[in-house]
Amino acid sequence: MPRILVTGGAAAPRAMGACTTILLTLLLWGWQAASTATANENGVQNGATTTSQRLGDSVGPPLARDPIFVYNNWSAYDELSDNIPLTEQLAMKELDEILRLRRFGVRFDYYMMDAFWFDPDGGYRTWRKPNWPNGPDAWIRKCRKNGILPGLWFSTNTLVKINAAPEWQNSLTHSEFATACAQACKPIPCFGTTHADSFHGEVPVTRCLTRDEIVSDYEKNTGSVICLHFNEVDPDAVPAVLVAGHGPFCWGASAAAAAYNAVILESVARIAYYTLTISPDAQLIASHLRDKHFLRKHGKDAYYGQEKTQ
């Protein structure tokens, strides 16, 4: 289970989109699998095949066998509709109430800090002052001391008017070249070592969703078609995918790593476009050179490059 929970709103940054989509799809599937285990066993005994079993055959085993309980503090202040600001004092008071309820047996796994914890000019890297004069250290320390995992909410500047840090711009826009590849339903080929330094082979494109998949459960099926593709591809070796007709999704060990991968993805998509413009018959990089560049940075005996983004 991650040490920090990061969630996005409806218009979450594209760089974070895959983390949210895939993680929630798999966690919810794990919850459903746990809650329907008895029904599945009865179905097998009676010779029946349940919907959960059919999904399980394609999605794979669940990552979470139990539901996760998250406290979200939005209703305690809601700065969009009232005048109560989110302050350190309010957040700590809420934490005290959580701990009080836990003594009565109420379960809490995460405390998620909702919107307006950040300085609009800090690019999600600076806590808002004067509401948090000393930053989040005391809140995080008390959460962890009591076995509660702290979480943060993020969104784009459409709702909370954040002024993104320059290096985050690609994660807060439509990532032009990668999106163009997704719309063309074309993978991003690995033409050179710049690509191979971050992605062990082409960045794939998913199949198009069917009409029924779009109408019935669009978001879940988007996550499912991504997961299905990575049954045979290591998602750590290729931390990105293009959803056909939609756009790029990236992930990583943390939100910062996902954003970093999104920036790199856009760069290699642009380079691939220029490569094909200059030479439509350009050849893929040799596999031994591709493997060398990727594994020397990301393999078990990695020895080259800067420290990985956490």
68, with CB counted inside 10 A (0-12, 13-18, 19+), is middle
- Helices 14-35 and 255-278: crossing angle in degrees, nearest 10, is 120
d(CA 243, CA 173): 16
Q: CA 146 → CA 1, 86, 108, 141, 142, distances in Å?
A: 16, 22, 10, 9, 6
Verify whether residue 303 is a known catalytic residue: no
* Alpha helix (H) residue ranges in 111-155: 137-145
Tokens 């179905």 belong to residue: 43
As a 3-state breakdown, the chain gives helix, strand, coil percent values, each rounded to 5, of 45, 10, 45
d(CA 310, CA 140): 18
Candidates 218, 236, 274, 304; catalytic one: 304
Verify whether residue 217 is a known catalytic residue: no
Candidates 78, 197, 217, 303; catalytic one: 197
d(CA 304, CA 198): 12
Catalytic site residues? 197, 304
